[in-house]
Structure 1
Amino acid sequence: MKVEFAPLNIPLARRLQTAAVLQWVLSFLLLAQVCVGILVILIIQNYWFLYIPYLTWLYFDWNTPEQGGRRSNWVRSWTIWRYFKEYFPIHLIKTRDLDPSHNYIFGFHPHGVLVAGAFGNFCTNYSAFQELFPGFTAYLHVLPFWFRCPLFREYLMSSGPVSVSKKSVCHVLNKEEGGNISVIVLGGAEESLDAHPGKFTLFIRQRKGFIKIALTHGAYLVPVFSFGENELFKQVSNPEGSWLRTVQEKLQKIMGFALPLFHARGIFQYNFGLMPYRKPIHTVVGRPIPVQQTQDPSPEQVEELHQTYLEELSKLFEEHKGNYGIPEHETLIFK
């Protein structure tokens, strides 16, 4: 295989875009381990004046990810996130106006490998979110595991993510005057194992907890589809039933997160590496589904609203797929 190297005369802006995405990928893959390692070294070297104050503070701060987090407008406004957004680039598209007197649950699809579209649109100040949805605050819910990593949790929360636990989602949706949006990647870690280019498999049929929460809080449901999310990486072939998929699924059940074996391009060449491809991401926000608050919803009510959500998600995909080069015969597959 002939290696295709990046030309030397690439504009500075594109080099900065690559650097921005590289730090994001490395942060996702390595920063949590580095932070834990730093804390271990501090303990081993007995720098008690550093780790004892931090661990004491951590004890009292432990539930913050379930209580709205601790976002930093300064961190969300770092110039590096503008270059991150422009690398792909990432776009946010609104199809309907939202009433800021209501709270909403955005069901984000698909998960992809690293959920770049969700991060770029809802965790930085460089997306069109504030212009398209004035008066709203979006909270991206991620695995609670990430908030159990000392030091790393502080960096993660600064961009705005909060835990995906029921308690955390309820906290966001409890805002009486409305204006809060819970962004939940409904397919979760399991769906990332099916994040192959050209595939549209969503793990959603058994995901009904968000429906019950929406009913109990009267939160409107909004399907969101991020076109291009699955095109950023390739994965080692792992069809269901294969030994690799079996191992991945077992590890996912044990650890709570999946380990897709992905690859794409490199920093200085285009043939292999862990950098995502420069593929555009178009995150389309669909029509809100009105939800009547029901304190104790029945299984039938949950099932009915879940079916309505699936229908609206399918409509959203069908109405917009042609705009982003998806063949007419392609359709969503619900698992």
Structure 2
Amino acid sequence: MKVEFAPLKIPLARRLQTAAVLQWVFSFVLLAQCCCMIFIIFLFGDYWVISVFYALWLYLDWETPHTGGRRSQWIRQWTVWKYFTEYFPIHLIKTSDLDPSQNYLFGFHPHGVLVAGAFGNFCTEHTGFKTLFPGLTPYLHIFHFWFKCPFFRDYIMGGGMVTSSKKSVSHVLSSEKSGNVAVIVIGGAEESLDAHPGSMTLSILRRKGFIKMALKHGAQLVPVFSFGENELYKQIANPKGSSLRTWQDKFRNIMGFTLPLFHGRGIFQYSFGFLPFRKPIYTVVGSPIAVKQNLSPSPEEIDHLHQKYLQELKKLFDQNKERYGIPEKISLIFT
């Protein structure tokens, strides 16, 4: 394989963008493990008192990720996130106004490999969410496992991340203070295995829990499509039925998350590595679907709203795909 090296003369801003994305990939892939290791080293070393007091804090603070988290505007406004969003770059596009007197459930699609668009738009203040949607506060719901990692949990809560548990989503959508936005990456770990460039396969047909939550709390449903999310990495071919996909699915069923075998570019060359390719991301927020509160929705009511959501999601994709670099011949595939 021929390696394409980066030129020596690169503007400082681009170098800072690469550094920002490098630390984000490290945080996403390895920081939780490093935090757990530090906790153990402290516990069995001279600084054991730090781990003991943190363990007490963890016990007392265990429910916080399920009850709105503990966001920090200081963390969300870090300059490093400015360079992070400029690397791709990430754009947030509004298609209609959202009333801050309502609560919303954003269904984010697709998952991609590392969900860069969801993080950049809803966990930082550098793509204009507050300007586009004044009065709204986004909460990105992620896999609960990460909130069990000492130190790491406090870091991700600072960005506005909370668990994806029913209790957590209910807390956000039932808050007396309106203007809350529960952002849920609907396809989850399963969908990340289909995140191949040019692929538009969404794992959604069996996922109806978010519909039920919207009905129970009367939250307005908003489809969100992040164009370019699947272009950031290349994955090893893993079609359904292959031995690799079978192994990945078994791992996901056991652990709750999965291991896409992917590669992007490197720090000093563009041919291979773990950094995402510099591909633009356009996250388009669709129009809200009105939802009437129903504390005990029937399966038929859930199915009806689910079908309406799929129709609006497809409409959002079809209306915007050519504008944001998707060939007309490519269509959404629901699985």
Scaled by the length of structure 2, the TM-score of the pair is: 0.99
User: Equivalents in 1 of 2:293, 2:28: separation in Å?
Assistant: 37
Aligned-pair CA distance for 1:88: 0.1
1:102–1:177 contact (8 Å) kept in structure 2: no
**Secondary structure at 2:70's aligned position in 1?**
coil
- CA deviations on 1:192-241 (whole Å, 9 max, x unpaired) are 00000000000000000011110010000000000000000000111111
1:77–1:126 contact (8 Å) kept in structure 2: yes
1:159-174 paired onto structure 2 within 5 Å = 159-174=159-174
Aligned-pair CA distance for 1:46: 5.2
User: Equivalents in 2 of 1:271, 1:49: separation in Å?
Assistant: 46
**Secondary structure at 1:322's aligned position in 2?**
coil
Higher alpha-carbon deviation: 233-242 or 39-48: 39-48
User: Equivalents in 1 of 2:165, 2:249: separation in Å?
Assistant: 21
1:71 aligns to 2:65 (yes or no) = no
- CA deviations on 1:292-323 (whole Å, 9 max, x unpaired) are 00111011100000000000000000000010
Which residue of structure 2 aligns with residue 133 of structure 1? 133
Percentage of identical aligned residues: 68
Which residue of structure 1 aligns with residue 311 of structure 2? 311
User: Equivalents in 1 of 2:98, 2:48: separation in Å?
Assistant: 51
Unaligned runs of 5+ in 1: none
**Secondary structure at 1:289's aligned position in 2?**
coil
1:141–1:184 contact (8 Å) kept in structure 2: yes
Which residue of structure 2 aligns with residue 18 of structure 1? 18
User: Equivalents in 1 of 2:142, 2:200: separation in Å?
Assistant: 21
- Matched letter for residue 40 of structure 1: I
- For the aligned residues, what is the CA RMSD? 0.8
1:29-44 paired onto structure 2 within 5 Å = 29-44=29-44
**Secondary structure at 1:241's aligned position in 2?**
coil
Aligned-pair CA distance for 1:47: 2.8
Aligned-pair CA distance for 1:83: 0.1
Which residue of structure 2 aligns with residue 196 of structure 1? 196
- CA deviations on 1:229-286 (whole Å, 9 max, x unpaired) are 0000000111111110000000001110010001010000000000000000000000
Which residue of structure 1 aligns with residue 320 of structure 2? 320
Higher alpha-carbon deviation: 42-51 or 17-26: 42-51
1:266-277 paired onto structure 2 within 5 Å = 266-277=266-277
1:104–1:219 contact (8 Å) kept in structure 2: yes
User: Equivalents in 2 of 1:234, 1:81: separation in Å?
Assistant: 24
Unaligned runs of 5+ in 2: none
- CA deviations on 1:122-172 (whole Å, 9 max, x unpaired) are 000111100100000000000001001111111111111000000000000
Higher alpha-carbon deviation: 42-51 or 312-321: 42-51
**Secondary structure at 1:253's aligned position in 2?**
helix
1:147–1:163 contact (8 Å) kept in structure 2: yes
1:101-140 paired onto structure 2 within 5 Å = 101-140=101-140
1:175-324 paired onto structure 2 within 5 Å = 175-324=175-324
User: Equivalents in 1 of 2:325, 2:55: separation in Å?
Assistant: 51
User: Equivalents in 1 of 2:49, 2:269: separation in Å?
Assistant: 46
- CA deviations on 1:80-122 (whole Å, 9 max, x unpaired) are 0000000000000000111111100000000000000000000
2:201–2:333 contact (8 Å) kept in structure 1: yes
- Matched letter for residue 48 of structure 1: W
- Matched letter for residue 196 of structure 1: H
User: Equivalents in 2 of 1:34, 1:325: separation in Å?
Assistant: 38
Which residue of structure 2 aligns with residue 87 of structure 1? 87
1:43-62 paired onto structure 2 within 5 Å = 43-45=43-45, 47-62=47-62
1:111–1:185 contact (8 Å) kept in structure 2: yes
User: Equivalents in 1 of 2:203, 2:260: separation in Å?
Assistant: 15
User: Equivalents in 2 of 1:180, 1:154: separation in Å?
Assistant: 21
1:226–1:284 contact (8 Å) kept in structure 2: yes
User: Equivalents in 2 of 1:329, 1:6: separation in Å?
Assistant: 33
- Matched letter for residue 29 of structure 2: L
1:196–1:230 contact (8 Å) kept in structure 2: yes
Which residue of structure 2 aligns with residue 147 of structure 1? 147
User: Equivalents in 1 of 2:262, 2:116: separation in Å?
Assistant: 14
- Matched letter for residue 94 of structure 2: K
User: Equivalents in 2 of 1:142, 1:71: separation in Å?
Assistant: 14
**Secondary structure at 1:39's aligned position in 2?**
helix
- Matched letter for residue 174 of structure 2: N
2:43–2:49 contact (8 Å) kept in structure 1: no
User: Equivalents in 1 of 2:78, 2:210: separation in Å?
Assistant: 32
Aligned-pair CA distance for 1:176: 3.0
**How many aligned residue pairs are there?**
335
